[in-house]
Structure 1
Amino acid sequence: MDDNSRVQRWERYGQVPLLLASLLYLTAYTVLVLLPRLSPGGRTFWVAVTVCTWAAFAVDYAVRLALSSRRREFVRRHWLDLLVLLLPLLRPLRMVQVYAAAQARRPHPRLTLEGQVMALASLTTLLLGYTGSLAVYQAERHAPGASIVSFGDAVWWACVTLSTTGYGDVVPVTVRGRVVAAVVMALGVGLIGAVVGVFSSWLVNRFRVRTEEAHKPPGSGRSGPEPGGGGS
């Protein structure tokens, strides 16, 4: 069995555990940010959940790296996995990776290529917006002179940032909040561009097909004799 087969086998078996780990991390992160008055025992539990889920991501990456014989190529091809380990903001995006891997292994995908790209980009945008809202709210809520003082403010900030609108009514003032903003802006521009670009391409293709069908000569789509036609 070659190293690619071993890596693919590990990834196939790890899909469900990693999906659960991503959901647990997102739940724990949400609880820790939105419920600051947790009991010491409750806070310890949810912090332990975040640590354990991070450990699951780390173990998965380390095992796949060990199974691969071309490790430098593996690191280059799976740079996002490494980035997920380093940036907590991106860890819930592992759900998107698991979903994409599952769709890639289906012999007959339910969606077209354009539909898959739009679905993945939309899901990534939603997760990035939600985790970005949590991260910037956690960094800004107690900062002097902060304009993001509620989770609603943070969600509004994430919406205008991801959409590249940037009203400027709520902005991060802390270093940590601005780092989160830079990540959200950098990824958001690409994601929104991908969705708009794929949707525009799909519309153009649909109009092209309809135009070609409308300009076909009558009967040009038929081949062979009419059903029931006579023959010698």
Structure 2
Amino acid sequence: MTQRRQLFDSTDGPEPFELAMMVLSLIAVTIMLFLAFGNLSAQTHKLLFFIDTAICIVFLGHFFYGLFRSKHKLHYLKHHWIDFVASIPVIEPLRTARLFQILRVVRLIRSSRSLLNRLIKQKKEATLASLLVAVFTILSLSSVMILMVESGIKGANIHTAEEAIWWALVTISTVGYGDHYPVTTAGHIIGGIVIITGVSFFGVISGYMASLFVAPDENEIKQSQREHREQIRQELHQALVRMENNQRQMEINQQQILAELAELKKSKSS
């Protein structure tokens, strides 16, 4: 029971990067299943291992970044040790720990009633997380698919895992050195899709970078909002003070009028 609480430690909504890590965990688990049970060629197995190692590096970076930012590091280690265990790439049995990563984030999603609002409020983090997931997904799928359709084909020049990854990188970046290229119809279709997604991908990056310089800084907006709220609070306080002073003055005037009326009655009776 205690271990379960450690795995599912929070009932708050997940951060955008936690959602990104969940998606990467799903990809990593899929790769793990293919490596364990798939009838793969040596180069495809090598390529999937490279992709899995790259994802593990991202996991480790996210873990140590969270540890560095945490004010209570022992508490962070206690509740996120499974993330570190699942990020070790070279030990096969530890890869199954990624299932607990997925379950923990799924529980956070289920317990959160304002997931969409949180993503909208954290636009920068959500954009970066989406770009991270997109680049890994595109590179992984394109490199694996191009290796499967091109490897062993007469006249093809993409036969190894390194060549497939290099082709995916230069194609998604729309550089296209021309040293490696598909020769089959399926390879051309895959290449066209990668080029289109690459153009869209870098278009999003350009828009995001432009928004960082053009859009006002969030800290400045929050500071302006705080100053505006403080100004309103002060104005309300001053208005209340004036109302209290006016009320006291009215009471004093009323007492003076009553006193004068009492004197008039006394003078008439005398």
TM-score scaled by structure 1?
0.48
* Higher CA-based Rg: 2
TM-score scaled by structure 2?
0.42
Structure with the bigger percentage of helix: 2
